[in-house]
Structure 1
Amino acid sequence: MRQDDCYQLGEVIKTHGLSGEVNISLEVDFPDEYQNLESVFLEQQGKLIPFFIDTIQINKDKALVKFEDIDSIDEAKSIVKSKLYLPLSTLPELENGQYYFHDLVDCEVFEEDSKLGVVKEVIDLNGNQLLVIDSNGKEILIPLKDEILTVVDIQAKKVTVSLPDGLLDVYND
């Protein structure tokens, strides 16, 4: 499985107890939908490795997980900070006009007719989703809000924004 064929579900944040359980931060909109997961891919040394889930308990945006064959705290420590992935094919179909955050990556961003740059990633900063834009080598952060992203055309890989006054001034030297 290639990372390009997957989306990031979350990340192992710490061990829990002595029998190999780990706490996971879930980076998805509806964590409860993942209560019946049977397996995930963990990024290990740049490769995605399948891990089978023995038990999972979800509480808001966190999960307590026991993976098969991870039976000690030392084995659990070896996967802390590993990112978890699932195949894109497991995502539910969206209605017209809806999109997943990963769909925004590589979209060109315009304000009116002026190209600002290209979306490199979407990050979550203290509960606020931000588009990370590469603007000629300079990083610009744009809040991911409906009133700012006025047109999103995933097929054309184009996003049109209406920025608050002064936002770009922060990035000008």
Structure 2
Amino acid sequence: MTKEECFYLGKIVAKFSFKGEVLIKLDTDEPETYTEMESVFVEYNDNLVPFFIERSYLHKSTLLRVKFEDIDSEEDAEDMIGAELYLPLNLLPKLPEDKFYFHEIIGFDVHDTEHGNIGKIVSINDSTAQALFEIEKDGKQILIPMNDEFIEKVDKNNRLLKVNTPEGLIDLYLG
């Protein structure tokens, strides 16, 4: 299993008990979705290693408290702190047609109501206060805030994102 075949689930942030339990900060709005997992992939030395779960439950509503098989001491748990966790893409919950996961829309054509086809989505920049669509057209980069007010339609079948951007935004890049 490679990272490209998986999605980022979260990170081990702390050990919890002397029995090897750990706390995982999940990267999700619905942590309860992941309380019944049988296993996860843990990144070790750039490899994804499967770990089986003995038990897990929510801890203070936002963290997942997990006891992995064969992790039986504080020392074993200590070695796992900071490790990132992944699950196969096919385990992502299905979203309604008008919603999307970031990885799903890479390569989509973007059509603006005023400018027509403004390029393809090459990536999503979520390191800023507001996530941005990074679009490329004829070697130029266009950045559009990922704002529900700008998104008119997500057409997954035709790999198309229709947007209605504020006046002048696209002109800043193509003008």
Task: Give TM class, smaller chain.
Answer: 0.7 to 0.9
Contact 1:105–1:122 (8 Å) recurs in 2: no
User: Secondary structure of 2:82's match?
Assistant: coil
Task: Report the counterpart of residue 118 of structure 2 in structure 1.
Answer: 115
**How many pairs does the alignment contain?**
169
User: Secondary structure of 2:103's match?
Assistant: helix
The Cα of 1:49 is off from its aligned counterpart by 0.9
Task: Report the counterpart of residue 75 of structure 2 in structure 1.
Answer: 74
Question: Tell me, which stretches of 5 or more residues in structure 2 are unaligned?
Answer: none
Task: Report the counterpart of residue 29 of structure 2 in structure 1.
Answer: 29
Task: Report the counterpart of residue 66 of structure 2 in structure 1.
Answer: 65
Question: Tell me, which stretches of 5 or more residues in structure 1 are unaligned?
Answer: none
* Cα gap change, 1:118 to 1:76, in 2 (>3 Å): same
The Cα of 1:116 is off from its aligned counterpart by 5.0
Distance (Å, rounded) in 1 between the aligned partners of 2:100 and 2:77: 34
Distance (Å, rounded) in 2 between the aligned partners of 1:62 and 1:171: 42
Task: Report the counterpart of residue 45 of structure 1 in structure 2.
Answer: 45
- In terms of mean alpha carbon deviation, does 78-87 or 105-114 score higher? 105-114
Percent identity at matched positions?
Answer: 33
Distance (Å, rounded) in 2 between the aligned partners of 1:66 and 1:92: 24
The one-letter amino acid paired with 1:69 is D
The one-letter amino acid paired with 1:35 is T
The Cα of 1:33 is off from its aligned counterpart by 1.6
Distance (Å, rounded) in 2 between the aligned partners of 1:139 and 1:21: 45
The one-letter amino acid paired with 1:151 is K
Distance (Å, rounded) in 1 between the aligned partners of 2:75 and 2:140: 41
Using structure 2 for the length normalisation, give the TM-score.
0.74
Distance (Å, rounded) in 2 between the aligned partners of 1:139 and 1:54: 47
Distance (Å, rounded) in 1 between the aligned partners of 2:53 and 2:163: 41
